[in-house]
Copies of this chain bind each other. A is one copy, B any other.
Amino acid sequence: MSTVPYKRLNKDDAVVLLVDHQTGLISLVQDFSPNEFKNKVLALADVAKFFNLPTILTTSFESGPNGPMVPELKELFPDAPYIPRPGQINAWDNEDFVKAIKATGRKQLIIAGVVTDVCVAFPTLSALAEGFDVFVVTDASGTFNQTVQQASWARMTAAGAQLMNWFSVACELQGDWRNDMEGLANLLSQRIPNYRNLINSYTVLTAK
């Protein structure tokens, strides 16, 4: 196994892809509890917003049983490219989606979606094959059960994808707390209750 150079997330080269977080499809997700999953997906959206990363949203058949994209996501990114796919299961097969990505000129793809083994894995494998670096946000991607989760992780890892989580994405993009200490603290406080508790304990004690 040869050592590869550290591919480090860079906020000037990263784009966020949110794939098929739709109100119907999410009922298929069972590898996370509903509250944990919702919180992680919104945390990733917060991260995209906080770092002003170009963000691209796509859905599969949103007028059918799959349902519309979760409204919170749509509201957070009113000006983002939004691509309701007419039928392609692999978002990478949709020209508009790939065009939107290439239009950003960026090479680092941060991807999350529902379900992991299809809506995340397929575009991940396609993008890797075209030379992009792909960072899968494992805790903002959901699927049927642990077996499917683990199998799809193995397939993506073998193809060169890097498995991350929303918190490590946030921290790698931030690099240094001093870039915006209060901003990052606010972000973490919204999504990590134990961190919020630390801040609240601290604030009370230091305010004395």
Q: Which residues of A contact B (CB under 8 A)?
A: 1-6, 8, 23-24, 26-28, 30, 32-39, 60-61, 64-68, 70-71, 86-90, 93, 115, 117-118, 121-122, 125-126, 128-129, 138-139, 144-145, 147-148, 150-155, 157-160, 162-165, 167-168, 171-172, 174-179, 181, 185, 192-202, 204-206, 208
Across the interface, do A139 and B128 meet the contact criterion of CB distance under 8 Å?
no
CA distance A33 to B38 in the complex (A): 14
Across the interface, do A93 and B176 meet the contact criterion of CB distance under 8 Å?
yes
Residues of chain B within 8 A of A128, CB atoms compared: 3, 6
Chain B, Cβ-Cβ closest to A60: B177
Across the interface, do B151 and A153 meet the contact criterion of CB distance under 8 Å?
yes
Of B93, B154, B179, the contact of A157 (CB 8 Å cutoff): B154
Can you tell how many copies of this chain the complex includes? 8
Residues of chain B within 8 A of A185, CB atoms compared: 65
The A interface, classified by DSSP as helix, strand, loop or mixed, is: helix
Known: A28-B194, A139-B147, A155-B162. 18 other contacts (CB 8 A): A8-B125, A23-B197, A26-B197, A34-B192, A34-B194, A35-B35, A35-B193, A65-B201, A68-B201, A70-B197, A87-B179, A87-B181, A88-B177, A89-B175, A90-B172, A117-B164, A117-B168, A205-B206
